[in-house]
Structure 1
Amino acid sequence: MSDVRAVLMQKVEAAHDRLVATTQRLVAVASPNPPSDTAEIAAVAEALLREIPGIEIEAIEPEPRVRSLIARLSSGRPGRRLIFNGHLDTFPVLETLPWTVPPLGGVLKDGKLYGRGVSDMKGGIACSLLAASLLADHRDTWRGEIVLTLAADEENMGSLGTGYMMEHVPQARGDANICGDVGSPKIVRFGEKGLMWVEVEAAGEPAHGAHVHRGVNAIDRLRAALDRIKDLENVPFQAPAVVAEAITKASGISEALSGRGESQTLQRVTVNLGTIEGGTSPNLVPIHAIARADIRLPVGITTDILAARLDEWLAPLEGVSWRAIRRFEPSFTPPDHELIRRTASVAAEVLGSPPAVNMRVGGSDSRWYRKYGVPTVVLGLTPFNMGGADEYVMVDELVAVAKIHTLVAFDFLSAR
């Protein structure tokens, strides 16, 4: 097996130009969300998949043009099923930003590969595609099957993409999932915070701004409600010791890449008041105001607990109502799980130094896999200017991630 692993490593290195070209083909097709139209990018991804001998491909389209793909590659022998998961949609292209390169051009310059969605996550998909292709050439050395789920709708929380496939397509589930979503090859992510988006409304009574005694200001009512929502950041909870220990241990490497303070953010409830609207004129008492907030939850607390607090705290506020727009629970695969250990070991082998093993601040489609009991690891490319002008990734990281995906899949499927 060591000989096969060495050959696979060499083949990834030899496929450098192919890996770049695959990423460029994916970047060249716009797939912004909104509107979650992935029909054209799915056609390109399908063409790339068909280059893998013996692969079976099915298109999944729960709504018109919201298209995902599921591809199956069998070894011909019974064994475990490994999933490579990725999302085809991206942030909006935003051509009006000050791009210095064409946003869909896939420009390669100074070891950097540019384009909208190259980090989130068309480069990661290219890595998984190469891994599957190389493993197809050596299918006599592993058992079971490899499945690629290339999903729509991730930027809209995935209910019509990975979520739909997990609920309706049995072969989309498996024994383990590798996701190449944005991150860093130096950080093995084993879980992510949950989220709850809330909308809060306040009603008032009209009056002229000079006669405030005759009206009720909806914005004042909303302000009081928003203060209580911010109080969610102080709700006590107890995280599992294994998660807290992993976050602390990872901080030295992880914060250098993801920003100082990441460790604290991973271990507390955060509230971002994202939008506020209300009123029509400075000299009129507003009769309506509305705000929306993004609440992120660490492992150890649930959306039910936070919702109960909001019911309790906001109910006494006259004229105020609230509702949850979206809810996902925090989730994690135990950091000592076989998949996480294998990924960390391979990453150390490829990079020459041990990676951090940590939670993820942002969300990913991996939440859907964990929801259905599928162990999941996220390891992808470091993002530069993600969502902004001149988004890019480092080509040497493309190669590193492709090596890690290939070897982890091989090790997992060849294990006795």
Structure 2
Amino acid sequence: MSNARLLDEIRRRRQELYELAASLVRIPSENPPGDTTEIASFIKRYLEERGLVPRVYEPKSRLPNIVATLGAGRPNLVLSGHLDEFPAGEGWTVPPFAGLLSDGKIVGRGAGDMKAGLAVALFVVTLLREHAVDLRGRLTLAFASDEETGGRWGTEWLLANVDDVRSDACLIGESSGTWSIGIGEKGVLWMRIKASGVSGHAAYGQGESAISKVLRSLERMTAVAGKRARMSKEIAAVIRRQRPIVEKRWGRGTGRMAERLTTNVGTIRGGGQVNLIPSRSEAEVDFRLPPGMKTATLEALIRRRVSALRLRDVELEVLNRCDSYVTSPGDPLITALVRSGHDVLGAAPCPVIRLGYTDGRFFRRAGIPTAVYGPRVHGMGGPDEFVEQDEVLDVALVHMGAVLDYLGAKA
């Protein structure tokens, strides 16, 4: 079957694609608690019924990962996705796991993050299998648990333990909007500061406030916001091109965030009642690092700045870290997506450095060129999450076109 006929087949059967995404939405996989056994079982059956042989890896109980391969040899292109989703929360106007198909939307928790992306990957692979397309290489599905809580038992584990996942390139159907291709992400460093003091009656002031120590330290820690780093000319050019576009798409002020260090004090705790000097306090800070800035360098700087205050009984610890990694915009996978996007949409999607991170960071850290391309999610993490059906179709078409471009087909 020709490439054009495969794309026409997706268009003709688009309702199947939407129904598949809705079926995945109807299976809760909230994290926490993170139990993805039901959705993993659904996907395993779906693949088996269509002639594929999925393998299930469960390094931690109730957190299964699924791998399935079509074709053989090299190159090996991974279609990656995560099975878990944010908790439903409150405030919904429709049942969060109803998987509604209404008014051109797919509605429900996880619709965009990332059940629609999973549906696209499943649809592309099984359609290629159905029509016996003889690829030059192999296409590997790698669906992981644990993405929403760090990825230790999901994609990170798969890359360390499953040969098929250590691929030549990786495409992730995570939410991006069809206008952009995520080729890199800012680095992340999460730090916790803890302080101890001496409690006492506030009226007499005979104590040592742990909260005051934390507040003074936070002032020094967050003062690094806005710092920039040296980066390659290629990455600098990507950021320069994306500035005016993301300013409109992501919100005011976001145009320059990719090249600057940002900080956020996400939690702060301490004290028991208003008239007692607090003896314990702690806070957690989120740092997002631009390409070229190393987490080890930033950590050392933060420790020096806090140490210079000469406060007693103050401790710093790292909760999470990952440097920024960027795939070249000239990589064959990226150029394949750009060409396919242009063919499907009439305008080439823009390679961008994303501000938040995905499981793509694990692939890039392993030296695997990685792209993130999926439908825009509306209300991610909040009530009434949805994706537009037309955009899910466009993503499926772009993915199929890029897969056929990257892997080709034997004559």
C-alpha distance in 2, partners of 1:163/1:207?
47
1:100-249 correspondence runs (5 A): 100-212=93-205, 214-249=206-241
> Do structure 1's residue 23 and structure 2's residue 15 form an aligned pair?
no
Show the counterpart of 1:396. 390
Matched to 1:149, the amino acid is A
Show the counterpart of 1:60. 57
Answer with 237-246 or 375-384: which moved more: 237-246
SS in structure 1 at match of 2:398: helix
CA contact (8 A) 2:134 2:409 kept: no
Matched to 1:360, the amino acid is R
Deviations 1:311-368 (A, max 9, x none): 2112233221110011111111011111111111111111111222111111100111
SS in structure 2 at match of 1:71: strand
2:377 corresponds, among 371, 383, 395, to 383
Deviations 1:273-324 (A, max 9, x none): 0111111111111111100111111101011011111221122332211100
SS in structure 1 at match of 2:276: coil
Q: What displacement does 1:24 show?
A: 1.1
Show the counterpart of 1:49. 47
C-alpha distance in 2, partners of 1:370/1:52?
31
Show the counterpart of 1:292. 284
Q: What displacement does 1:205 show?
A: 1.2
Q: What displacement does 1:141 show?
A: 4.1
C-alpha distance in 2, partners of 1:232/1:58?
46
C-alpha distance in 1, partners of 2:47/2:215?
52
> Do structure 1's residue 319 and structure 2's residue 313 form an aligned pair?
yes
Show the counterpart of 1:307. 299
Show the counterpart of 2:88. 93
C-alpha distance in 2, partners of 1:354/1:234?
31
C-alpha distance in 2, partners of 1:194/1:415?
37
Matched to 2:118, the amino acid is I
C-alpha distance in 2, partners of 1:166/1:314?
36
SS in structure 2 at match of 1:188: strand
Deviations 1:96-148 (A, max 9, x none): x2212111111111111100000000001101111111222344442211100
C-alpha distance in 1, partners of 2:347/2:329?
18
SS in structure 2 at match of 1:232: coil
C-alpha distance in 1, partners of 2:62/2:154?
11
Answer with 122-131 or 316-325: which moved more: 316-325
SS in structure 2 at match of 1:62: coil
TM-score, normalising length from structure 2? 0.96
SS in structure 1 at match of 2:200: coil
C-alpha distance in 1, partners of 2:132/2:301?
53
Q: What displacement does 1:232 show?
A: 2.3
Matched to 1:247, the amino acid is I
SS in structure 1 at match of 2:277: coil
Matched to 1:92, the amino acid is P
Q: What is the alpha-carbon root mean square deviation over aligned residues?
A: 1.4
Matched to 1:204, the amino acid is G
Q: What displacement does 1:236 show?
A: 4.4
Matched to 1:225, the amino acid is S
Q: What displacement does 1:216 show?
A: 1.0
CA contact (8 A) 1:193 1:298 kept: yes
SS in structure 2 at match of 1:408: helix
C-alpha distance in 2, partners of 1:138/1:298?
44
1:11 corresponds, among 4, 9, 15, to 9
Q: What displacement does 1:79 show?
A: 3.3
Matched to 1:22, the amino acid is L
C-alpha distance in 2, partners of 1:125/1:15?
17
Show the counterpart of 2:251. 259
C-alpha distance in 1, partners of 2:22/2:133?
31
Instruction: Give identity over the alignment, percent.
Output: 35
Matched to 1:135, the amino acid is L
CA contact (8 A) 1:232 1:306 kept: no
Q: What displacement does 1:14 show?
A: 1.1
SS in structure 2 at match of 1:292: strand
Matched to 2:120, the amino acid is C
| Gap change, CA 1:286 and 1:262, over 3 Å in 2 | same
CA contact (8 A) 1:135 1:406 kept: no
CA contact (8 A) 2:258 2:355 kept: yes
CA contact (8 A) 1:383 1:393 kept: yes
2:33 corresponds, among 32, 35, 38, to 35
C-alpha distance in 2, partners of 1:163/1:393?
27
C-alpha distance in 1, partners of 2:409/2:318?
44
C-alpha distance in 2, partners of 1:246/1:138?
38
Show the counterpart of 1:84. 79
CA contact (8 A) 2:25 2:109 kept: yes
Matched to 2:408, the amino acid is S
Deviations 1:70-89 (A, max 9, x none): 01111x5x431110000000
Deviations 1:203-224 (A, max 9, x none): 1112210111x21111111111
C-alpha distance in 2, partners of 1:250/1:356?
7
Q: For this pair of structures, how many residues does the alignment match?
A: 408
Deviations 1:349-392 (A, max 9, x none): 11111222111111100111111111100001101011111100
SS in structure 2 at match of 1:358: strand
C-alpha distance in 2, partners of 1:140/1:121?
27
Q: What displacement does 1:62 show?
A: 0.7
Q: What displacement does 1:5 show?
A: 1.5
